[in-house]
Amino acid sequence: MAPATYFLLVSFLALVTSQAIASDPSPLQDFCVANIHSPVKVNGFVCKDPMAVNVDDFFKAANLDKPRDTMKSKVGSNVTLINVMQLPGLNTLGISLARIDYAPLGQNPPHTHPRATEILTVLEGTLYVDLSSTQKVTSYHKVQQGECLFPRL
């Protein structure tokens, strides 16, 4: 094989077999507790002064173990949210948590979460779920106690 052909072949293989390495950049600080009182909002909340951060910024007694009243709701469900507004230490982490209590025949109105995924875990009873795609394909599923569902909505 001619040296020029060999060089071209090796160069081509090097280009097509190179690894793609990608990740989110490392944060500039260890944590960014939200300063929810700041008027400045840039892709979320600005960081609180690290010297003003305390353990309460990372802990919330949310009482998520206690069922909520579902009878006052028109749809028969009650959502308890834990996000950066209740727990400032979640700022920049891209996570939140919700507990949803359903009355018998209660429902969670159709909704989407752009660029997010939810995890549903049934702790008691049965939940009937309808997953619909943008291509109008619908899938129904019965989630039993102890089962999980990971829809990308």
- Report the CATH number that the domain containing residue 85 is assigned in CATH: 2.60.120.10
State how far Cα 91 lies from the chain centre.
13
Each residue's pLDDT tens digit, 47-77: 999 999 999 999 887 778 888 999 999 999 9
The pTM score is: 0.68
- Per the domain annotation, does 14 fall within a domain? no
Q: Would 139 be classed as within a structural domain?
A: yes
Helices (H), the chain: 3-16
pLDDT 10s digits, 8-48: 888 877 777 766 666 667 777 788 999 999 998 877 799 99
d(CA 115, CA 118): 10
Asked if residue 78 and residue 30 are part of one domain, the reply reads: yes
Is residue 41 included in any domain, yes or no? Answer: yes
Is 63 known to sit in a ligand binding site? no
Is residue 147 part of an annotated ligand binding site? Answer: no
E runs forming strands in 1-153:
77-82, 97-102, 120-121, 127-132, 138-143, 148-149
Range of the domain at 95: 26-107
Instruction: Render pLDDT for 95-144 as a digit per residue (tens, 0 to 9).
Output: 888 889 999 989 888 877 777 778 888 888 888 888 877 788 888 888 89
**37 annotated as a binding-site residue:** no
Q: How many domains does the chain have?
A: 2
